[in-house]
């Protein structure tokens, strides 16, 4: 469409409608523009204005016609069918696409060259610096992990920072962009902002140097009282209710609200942060905190739920806030928990009480850390029989709110994987060595400044072995359903050896190392190539997993490759799997039954007797046998038992 200059008659009409311009010849309009929808408009610099044919339907049923009313524009392009009115100061150096609604805003400007938050360095984990992540609008959890956690590979770090800087430079401009169908209402100060399609800003206080990577199928919403500077918000996310952000990246489908405060932090997909505070944290996928009194600081988390009053310390009052810590995948903190960094808590563990002895329980996943008389007591593997752990593992995939198209973070939801099973193997070795060194009759054992009772140690050994047998049986049956050739294809032997959790991506250490080597050597030369390689590793997970499980199966059951091919040995492994599955499910069943015990009915049946309490409890919580999780466990036992019997019969 060729835009045209205004005629003298049109200029006269606009001036009669209280419009003015520094230079009318620098103003271009749509050929079929209806000028009656421009009133009290002041124009300066070069401006281009589209047509006004449509109306907007407001909440409550009111209609507002598109047009420019009571606004000042400088060097601004306005697309077709926009409504812009009541701009207290002015809009400068912006391209506004079609169908945008902008009302009651103080100022919207771009002042000088900007990359709209891209290229901002976020000092995660260490407040004093040293693990900075350069954010950009394509950032993934895995890329950020490689930037932050591999500083012992300076060439890799520099290359990754270079890729991020290239993206930031490609976004640099002296003009801002408000994409189609965006809404900005009742908002104060907007400077150096990029707004993707269908962005919605309602009542924000101040937004400076940021990008809203909104899409029609996954819009971004910025709510009342939000103050944000040097930030990026990915599609599908909501930042609302007086939240404050400074040097922050918000991943896809996140929710930050109820006065949450965050600085120098990264939040990846499906995080939900409310009421509390974050400082210098690396929040991997599904990191959740809801409570006002909760502080997350200088830590790395994923699939984590922080209880009320959870707190960590990273300052020894010597060299500053230089300490950091990790709660590995799936860890939880109970109410009023406290951890003195540095510390590292094993995967899927629960932290209760205060822990100041810098524990490292990474080799003992699925454990409870409990404070008792000022000391840390450890119950290894006990979380494997917790109904809460299984419930979490089931709910995470269901709570993935990301649009199926364009997902950035690579997320593996598996509870039992080479990553967690390898840790259990190490845990088995730790517990058995403790028993051998201290004696099988010892009452307590000490590991990493934590104490373990004799019964807890023996139970941990038993539970780890059950979980390992369950994983190996799952892998064997999955393989047999595809082929009777058990030996893995040679191209998947990268799966052998250690495995990593790169903030959601579970992958072989060797595959990630090969990628990092190629980046350092210049064989991978762009951000997109890094992402493609990571996506391929993610896609090959089950092939890599079988290569790892195959080697473990030989070691764990002390078999040769020829012996593993024998049907009777496969039957034995499946029988062990079936027993482990049923035993673990029965433990979950018993754990769930505790939620229906007499003590849990306290507080029910006000103004009545025990029978009233039971009736009230049943009405509110339902019956135990009809509870959805309980019926799911029972169904799981039946299904897996039938599957085991089928393969035992087939192989026999």
- % of the chain surpassing 90 pLDDT: 78
Spell out the residues 6+ positions from residue 385 whose beta carbon is closer than 8 angstroms to its own: 463, 584, 587, 588, 591
**164-209 pLDDT tens trace:** 999 999 999 999 999 999 999 999 999 999 999 999 999 999 999 9
Token pair belonging to 343:
């510390």
Q: Give the C-alpha separation, 208 to 402, whole Å.
A: 26
Q: What is the pLDDT of residue 643?
A: 86
Q: Give the C-alpha separation, 471 to 545, whole Å.
A: 11
Sort strands 238-239 and 47-49 into parallel, antiparallel or unpaired: unpaired
Q: What is the pLDDT of residue 391?
A: 76
**538-579 pLDDT tens trace:** 999 999 999 999 999 999 999 999 999 999 999 999 999 999
**31-44 pLDDT tens trace:** 999 999 999 999 99
The secondary element (H helix, E strand) that includes residue 149 is helix 141-149
Q: Give the C-alpha separation, 375 to 357, whole Å.
A: 8
Cis peptide before 342 (omega within 30 of 0): yes
Token pair belonging to 197:
């399609």
User: Model confidence at 374, in pLDDT bands (50, 70, 90)?
Assistant: confident
Token pair belonging to 49:
């204005």
Q: Under a CB-based contact definition with an 8 Å cutoff, are residues 552 and 426 in contact?
A: no
Q: Give the C-alpha separation, 556 to 364, whole Å.
A: 18
Spell out the residues 6+ positions from residue 190 whose beta carbon is closer than 8 angstroms to its own: 105, 106, 107, 108, 109, 184, 201, 204, 206, 207, 208
**291-301 pLDDT tens trace:** 888 999 999 99
Higher pLDDT, 6 or 603: 6
Question: Which residue from 225, 277, 273 is spatially nearest to 250, judged by alpha carbons?
Answer: 273
User: Model confidence at 394, in pLDDT bands (50, 70, 90)?
Assistant: confident
Q: Under a CB-based contact definition with an 8 Å cutoff, are residues 563 and 550 in contact?
A: no
pLDDT for residue 75 is more than 80: yes
pLDDT for residue 72 is more than 90: yes
Instruction: Count how many residues are written for the chain.
Output: 652
Q: What is the pLDDT of residue 637?
A: 82
Backbone angles phi, psi at 88, to 5 degrees: -60, -45
Tell me the average pLDDT across 433-458: 90
Q: Specify which of 91-105, 289-303, 340-354, 578-592 reaches the highest per-range mean pLDDT.
A: 91-105
To the question of pTM greater than 0.85 for the whole model, the response is: yes
Tell me the average pLDDT across 202-217: 97
User: Model confidence at 580, in pLDDT bands (50, 70, 90)?
Assistant: very high
């Amino acid at each position: 469409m060729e835009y045209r200059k205004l005629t003298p008659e049109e200029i006269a009409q606009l001036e009669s409608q209280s419009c003015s311009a520094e230079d009318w010849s620098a103003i271009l309009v749509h050929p079929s523009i209806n000028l009656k929808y421009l009133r009290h408009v002041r124009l300066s610099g070069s401006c281009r204005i589209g047509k006004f044919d449509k109306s907007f339907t407001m909440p409550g049923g009111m209609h507002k016609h598109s047009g420019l009313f009571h606004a000042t524009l400088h060097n601004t392009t306005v697309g077709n069918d926009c409504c812009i009115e009541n701009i207290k100061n002015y809009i400068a150096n912006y391209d506004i696409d079609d169908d945008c609604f902008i009302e009651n805003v103080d100022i919207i400007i771009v002042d000088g060259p900007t990359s709209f938050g891209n290229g901002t360095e976020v000092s995660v984990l260490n407040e004093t610096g040293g693990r900075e992540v350069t954010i950009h609008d394509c950032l993934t959890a895995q890329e950020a992990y490689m930037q932050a956690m591999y500083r012992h590979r300076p060439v890799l770090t520099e290359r990754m920072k270079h890729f991020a800087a290239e993206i930031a430079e490609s976004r640099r401009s002296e003009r801002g962009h408000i994409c189609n169908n965006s809404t900005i209402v009742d908002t104060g100060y907007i400077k150096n902002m990029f707004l993707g399609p269908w962005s919605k800003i309602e009542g924000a206080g101040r937004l400076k140097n940021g990008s809203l990577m909104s899409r029609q199928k996954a819009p971004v919403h910025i709510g009342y009282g939000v103050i944000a500077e040097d930030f990026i918000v990915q599609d599908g996310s909501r930042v609302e209710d007086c939240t404050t952000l400074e040097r922050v990246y918000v991943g896809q489908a996140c929710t930050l609200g109820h006065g949450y405060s965050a600085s120098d932090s990264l939040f990846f997909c499906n995080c939900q942060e409310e009421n509390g505070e974050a400082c210098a944290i690396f929040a991997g996928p599904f990191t959740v905190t809801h409570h006002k009194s909760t502080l997350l600081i200088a830590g790395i988390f994923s699939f984590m739920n922080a209880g009320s009053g959870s707190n960590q310390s990273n300052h020894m009052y010597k060299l500053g806030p230089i300490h950091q810590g990790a709660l590995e995948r799936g860890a939880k903190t109970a109410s009023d928990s406290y951890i003195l960094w540095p510390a590292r808590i094993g995967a899927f563990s629960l932290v209760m009480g205060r822990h100041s002895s810098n524990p490292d329980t990474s080799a003992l996943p699925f454990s409870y850390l409990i404070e008792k008389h000022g000391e840390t007591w450890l119950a290894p593997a006990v979380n494997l029989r917790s109904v809460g752990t299984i419930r979490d593992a089931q709910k995470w995939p269901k709570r993935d709110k990301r649009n199926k198209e364009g997902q950035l973070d690579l997320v593996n939801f598996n509870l039992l994987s080479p990553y967690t099973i390898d840790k259990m193997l190490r845990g088995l070795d730790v517990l058995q060595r403790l028993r051998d060194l201290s004696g099988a009759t010892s009452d307590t054992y000490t590991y990493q400044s934590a104490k373990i009772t004799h019964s807890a140690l023996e139970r941990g050994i038993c539970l780890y072995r059950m979980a390992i047998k369950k994983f190996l049986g799952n892998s064997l049956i999955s393989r047999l359903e595809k082929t009777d050739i058990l030996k893995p294809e040679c191209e998947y032997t990268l799966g052998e050896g250690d495995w990593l959790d790169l903030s959601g991506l579970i992958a072989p250490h060797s595959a990630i190392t090969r990628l990092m080597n190629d980046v350092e050597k210049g064989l991978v030369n762009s951000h997109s190539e890094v992402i493609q390689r990571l996506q391929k590793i993610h896609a090959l997970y089950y092939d890599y997993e079988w290569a790892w499980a195959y080697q473990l199966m030989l070691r764990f059951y002390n078999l040769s490759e020829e012996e593993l091919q024998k049907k009777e040995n496969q039957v034995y492994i499946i029988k062990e799997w079936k027993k482990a599955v049923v035993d673990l499910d029965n433990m979950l069943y018993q754990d769930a039954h505790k939620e229906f015990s007499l003590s849990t009915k306290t507080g029910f049946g006000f103004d009545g007797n025990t029978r009233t309490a039971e009736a009230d409890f049943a009405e509110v919580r339902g019956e135990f046998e009809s509870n959805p999780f309980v019926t799911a466990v029972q169904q799981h036992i039946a299904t897996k038992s039938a599957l085991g019997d089928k393969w035992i019969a087939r192989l026999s």
